[in-house]
Amino acid sequence: MLAAAGSVPTDAEIFMKAVGDLLTKRDPLRKAERAAARQRQNTAGRYIPAAVRHQVWLRDQGQCTHMHPDGSRCQEKMMIELDHIDLYCRGGEHSASNLQLKCRLHNNFAAAGALGNEWYRQRLEFVN
């Protein structure tokens, strides 16, 4: 890698680079800083914490929660997604009480319906 940078490194340069990289990787303070940065990244934005995801999957038993007008529940267990009841784009939080499992079809239709897409709204009526 050092040679690829343009010059052939000496053994001492290779050794110093290797020690520097090792210290960067193993230094407890630097490791803690990287972990804190990952944590900040994971709690921001669209990331839903694993504990919350697992709670919702267990509660909903891995099945779409959409209810048809006849009172029956959608039987889909494939292409399951986490759906925000209060939409994430409108400030809905990543909590188990605000999340439910939906199949891709019902998730897309519900979101598009909530966001005002007339075509999806018509499709939602068709699927029901």
Q: Is 81 in the site for Zn ion (CB under 5 A)?
A: no
Q: Please give the structure tokens belonging to residue 77.
A: 């267990």
Q: Which is nearer to Zn ion, 74 or 111 (CB)?
A: 74
State the nearest-atom distance from the C-beta of 104 to Zn ion, in Å: 8
CA distance 21 to 9: 16
Q: Which stretch binds Zn ion (CB under 5 A): 21-29, 31-39, 79-87, 99-107?
A: 99-107
Q: Is 84 in the site for Zn ion (CB under 5 A)?
A: no
Q: Which stretch binds Zn ion (CB under 5 A): 30-38, 49-57, 58-66, 79-87?
A: 58-66
Helices (H), the chain: 11-26, 28-43, 50-60, 104-114, 118-127
Q: Is 106 in the site for Zn ion (CB under 5 A)?
A: yes
Residues in the chain, overall count: 128
Cβ(101)–Cβ(113) under 8 Å? no
Encoded amino acid at 56, one letter: V
Q: What does the binding site for Zn ion look like in residue numbers (CB under 5 A)? A: 64, 66, 74, 76, 103, 106
